[in-house]
A = this chain, B = another copy of it.
């Protein structure tokens, strides 16, 4: 934070630099989401105050609060995608890639719990809006999984033939782990998350190799 608390007022941007505020708003909203851990706390007024600007200024760059939140998620979604790809690309074997993908997804979710909530656990999960508006960025995530499953099937590591079907099942599995982890304070009880993930993925790859 360079700004000193409540009364701070951001210096006005030079001409032509109006877009800078947009970025600052997005960053402040994202920070606020992390800090408060609650989507409801990311109000137009709170974001404006964090940036050091009055509330109506937000509307210079976003149509309304909903669009602001979608934009926040768009960014986060892209970061999730990058994070996963970096991990996956470090591995060669399709099945190992699938496991690396799952681990990366879980790690990212656990480390950005409130963003994960907004993206995948909200009543109308933001990932859906993303699929509407910024189709490209949004669909990549799941389709990369589908591709990965495809390669794993081709390599003989997965028996079932419908890639979409297997991908959906696998997403459900990892989502369950993340969703409980970001929700229950004492999860997982009596063990570590890593151990649990090892076990779950172990069971999964074993079963998926033989079940049709």
Chain A positions within 8 Å of B, measured between CB atoms, are 37-38, 117, 120-125, 127-128, 160, 162, 164-166, 168-169, 171-177, 179-180, 183-185, 187-191, 195-196, 199-200, 202-208, 210-211
Contact = CB atoms under 8 A, between A and B. Distances in A.
30 contacts: A38-B123, A117-B123, A120-B183, A121-B179, A122-B183, A124-B185, A125-B183, A128-B184, A164-B191, A165-B188, A165-B191, A165-B199, A166-B199, A168-B187, A168-B191, A169-B196, A169-B203, A171-B176, A171-B180, A172-B176, A172-B196, A172-B200, A173-B173, A173-B176, A174-B176, A199-B211, A202-B207, A203-B211, A206-B207, A206-B211
Given A164-B191, A172-B196, 17 more contacts: A121-B179, A122-B183, A125-B184, A128-B184, A164-B189, A165-B188, A166-B199, A168-B187, A168-B188, A168-B189, A169-B196, A171-B176, A172-B176, A172-B180, A173-B200, A179-B179, A206-B211
Contacts of A169: 196, 199-200, 203
A85 to B, nearest CB: 22
A196 B168 contact: yes
- Give how many copies assemble into the complex: 2
Of all A-B residue pairs in the complex, the 3 with the closest CB atoms, nearest first, are A176-B176, A207-B207, A203-B207
A117 B199 CA distance: 27
Contacts of A205: 207
A190 B167 CA distance: 12
A185 B171 CA distance: 15
A183 B123 contact: yes
Contacts of A183: 120-123, 125
Contacts of A196: 165, 168-169, 172
